[in-house]
A and B are shown apart, each in its own frame.
Chain A
Amino acid sequence: MDETISIVLFSGTDDKLQSASVLTAGAAALGRPVKILLQYWALESFRADRITADHGLVPEAGPAGKAALDAAAKAGQAHWTETLRMAKELGEVDIQACSASMELLGLKHSDLDPIVDGVEGVAAFYVNAGEGQILFI
């Protein structure tokens, strides 16, 4: 069985990125390699100049959801970037930017936070995913 988990990050809101970082860190703690492909609005959220900015929440969060997440952050819950950095420290986590999304958004590799390892296309993503599971968030 191929233990690699491949995750496509499409959405750029903080709640979805938090969810993805938790899934990534958990896999890393179990020793499973994780390959992440950043597309569209998720890629936008990894820009070096705004990675820790407020990226909002999905619509169903509503005001009550926002209050709950704000309270968790105030209580010391790690920001998703910290969880992701810890996951990279713990295990084999590779983060790639989708080349088509880079072009669409007019970004260069140097515009992205250093947590992003490189730029690749969808064929490389599938080949690296092998027979492992692929998640789309």
Chain B
Amino acid sequence: MTANRLLVIGPVAFLAAFFLYPLAAILGRSFGGGEFSPDPFGVVLGDPYYLGRIWFTVWQAAVSTVLTLIVGLPVAYLFARHEFPGKTVLKALTTLPFIMPTIVVAMGFIALLGPQGLVNTALTGVFGDGGPQVRVTNTLTIIFMAHAFYNYAIVVRIVSAFWSNLSPRFGESAAMLGAGRIRTFTHVTLPLLMPSLLSSAVLVFVFSFTSFGVVLVLGGPRFATLEVSIYELTVKLFRLDVAGALALVQLAFTSAFLLVYTRLQAQSAVPITFVPVDAVTRQRRGFRDVAVLAAIVVGLLVVLSPLVALVERAVSSGGGYSLTHFVGLFTDDRGSYFYLSPLMVIWNSIRFALASMVIALAVGTAASYVIVRRRGRSGVVDALFMAPLGVSAVTLGFGFLVAFNRAPIDLRGSWLILVIAHSLVAYPFVIRSVLPVLRGMPPHLKESAALLGANPLNVFVHVELPIIARALLVGATFAFAVSMGEFGASLLLVRPEFTTIPVAIFRLLGQPGESNLGQALAMSTLLMAVVTVGFVAIERFRYRNVGGF
């Protein structure tokens, strides 16, 4: 029984010490009066400016969600119902945007649609200097596009996994009862897909709601979500009271949505049968089918264009192609105190990511076990463990600074503070990966092993571990990617000697000058490369449609 106790205490203690404690510390300061207003909620709710911010965050998240669903559904259809050469590669490519750090996504869009971006450069080339230009930076349009770009992989993963497990007999029965393609879709397929659509929509909403990097970099001064407002209030204006109140408002919203999401997940938990999915592919490959396929593939490539543009802009300089920006990264021609060798920065990011990955795996797996054992109320427990995803990363980062610079946990000057912050944000992804596999594991497996004489440790090592091994691998990959790309908390927690790549990119962006922009693009490309290599390599080990939301 002690092992069981440890299993439960572990993740709970982690959550308490590294989530609740810093949160309480910072909120204590925010609401503690003193140099701040004694009634920050009153300030927030009474000021139309802040109310406007809240409202903006809500409706931009809603619009982003709808847009993401529209972009993601056709791609989900493509993967659920068709087999074609190169499908695995394409599938990995579609997930690429999601694991990209938000700063890279933002840079990609600047590279594609910015004033010196690929599209505008091409337009100038064709129409000359006075010709049409695309001006979408610092507008809502680009924010929505970036959100859809970033999040459509969630819709694709969740919906296509569900769709491909949907018995084709339903569609065939509908056809035999006289329903053509369209009516089969509207009357039968769509209603049956609803749980997965809702699931993915809720998750996309939460991510769009808490969006930081994208809005900060692409939105300009006019558009700020709650998270961006919290950042400015905390770092620039030092109004911790208002920041704290906003953080709580944000937490209230995301908690509600995460609760809905985890409820949906628990209800629609289907035992995963480790049997290859029935041949679900359409048998008739008429011209219309090929055209639809082609349209979707083209659309997919269009959606991936920001990343392509990123690379293209990073290697172009002065009208041609060269590696100037990359070289510039490695030279310190200004003798700046803040100069940090990119190799050092990359090494920092990688070692912190590996460390957070290990911690996230341990905590996430233990938490998954706790959730699965809860059975009836598992939705609530699940949502509790997911809470770090919905909390303002900036607030959390600042909370870490405030809470961990003295006893009982003193992490001043230590890179551990950064690693722990990363693992906090990363472990929910491990849960999303491991939990479905645990839920789908037939109970008789463990019982059979026990009856054959295996003690609990042996049962775990020989029966459970092999089954969840791949889910662990997937969770580890996501945790690694999340840590590599973490931006909000890192912005507050890094010190010059342990800067991470996203922060370095942001600093480069903050300094004017074309070479700085070029170097920011080059750095982003490097980050994209590192994350891609790690991710694609591990994609090959993935179970079909297992793990990952």
Chains A and B form a bound pair: no
A interface residue numbers (CB < 8 A to B) = none
